Structure 1
Amino acid sequence: MDVLALTFDPRSKAVLLGVAPRAHEPYAGAMALPGVLLGKGERLRDAARRAVIDKLGMPPTAISATGQLTTFDEPSRDPRGPTLSIALWSTLDVSEANGDRVTWTPLDDVPPLAFDHDRIVSDCRPMLADRLWRDPAFTADCWAESSPPHRHWT
């Protein structure tokens, strides 16, 4: 599963996406969404929390909310063989975080990513925008200030 880890930057009025360099092949050193293999008996939200903590170096207390988006099943999405990925979103409060592994990039200007993560971001952006005003937890966690940002990311 892969996580679109999001935070709102009040200075730039932009939604930021957390990405980090991969530690192992394939694509060692390439930027990627935080992702993990689902452990036996592990729930998706628990795996998403683990991905954010382990891959981005964020403390558990930084994770505000998490939810499921969609599944990616392209047989060639991973060079190691056919692999499903369930995409989840997670909103983060980065004020207390020291995540030195994470790079925060505007959601509308994401650098090239490993695997099919560019497609995951591209396909999930409309779902995130649609969720913005329908999901109170997502909306509250994305907008740290009382007024929404002036920039649209649909």
Structure 2
Amino acid sequence: MYTYKYPRPALTVDALVYVKENNLVWVLLIQRGQEPFKEKWALPGGFVDMDELLETACKRELLEETGLKVDRMKQFKTFDAVDRDPRHRTISVVFSVELSEKEKVTGGDDAARAAWFSLDDLPEMAFDHQKILSEFFKLERT
């Protein structure tokens, strides 16, 4: 094990899961069960374990927090604003997957709830997740 004298950022992953249905886009969100941003809504996600690949971590977090299992995800973008997490310096790699229909989800692990929301009627979001959604769907629509 290495010990470094310089601080390093934490690495997380976030899952952007969506469904296009009847001219609406639905996104899967979790309600945070703990601080920071307790009770606010966020993309499913969390910290990467030392022994896992990024996509594997994202699929694990998605399953733990929503009960949803997916086979593959596509890497979208890395978000690295210095102040994106009030706890410490955190960098997140966002993965996306489009499903053919909304599947049943339930909150688990540190997520109080999981639910589908219309992109046109989103709740108050945690972290920079509103920005992530805006950037992703702006690109999708161009």
- Work out whether 1:83 is the aligned partner of 2:90: yes
- Residue 107, structure 1, aligned to residue 119, structure 2: yes
**Structure 1 counterpart of 2:43:** 33
Q: Residues 44-98 of structure 1: CA distance to partner in whole angstroms, max 9, x if unpaired?
A: 111111121111222x2xx253110111111100000111011110233556x43
1:7-46 aligned at under 5 Å gives the runs 7-9=19-21, 12-46=22-56
Identity, in percent, stands at 31
Give the gaps of 5 or more residues in structure 1: 130-152
Residue 84 of structure 1 aligns to a residue whose secondary structure is strand
Determine which of 45, 53, 65 is the counterpart of 2:72: 65
Normalised to the residue count of structure 1, the TM-score between the two structures is 0.71
Superposed displacement of residue 119, structure 1: 1.0
- Please state whether the residue corresponding to 1:89 is helix, strand or coil: strand
The whole-number CA distance in structure 2 between the counterparts of 1:125 and 1:84 is 21
The number of equivalent residue pairs is 124
1:80-125 deviations in Å (ceiling 9; x for gaps): 0111011110233556x43133211122432221011111111222
Distance 2:72 2:101 in 1: 13
- Shift of the alpha carbon at 1:25? 0.9
- Separation of aligned partners in 2, 1:64 and 1:7: 16
Give 2:133's aligned residue: 121
Structure with greater contact order relative to length (CA < 8 Å, sep ≥ 6)? 2
Do the aligned partners of 2:42 and 2:126 also contact (CA within 8 Å) in 1? Answer: yes
Given that 1:77 and 1:115 are in contact with CA atoms closer than 8 Å, whether structure 2 keeps it comes out as yes
Unaligned runs of 5+ in 2: 1-12, 108-113
Q: Is the 8 A contact 2:65 2:106 kept in 1?
A: no
2:104 corresponds in structure 1 to 98
Structure 1: which amino acid aligns with 2:122?
Answer: V
Does structure 1 residue 74 correspond to structure 2 residue 86? no
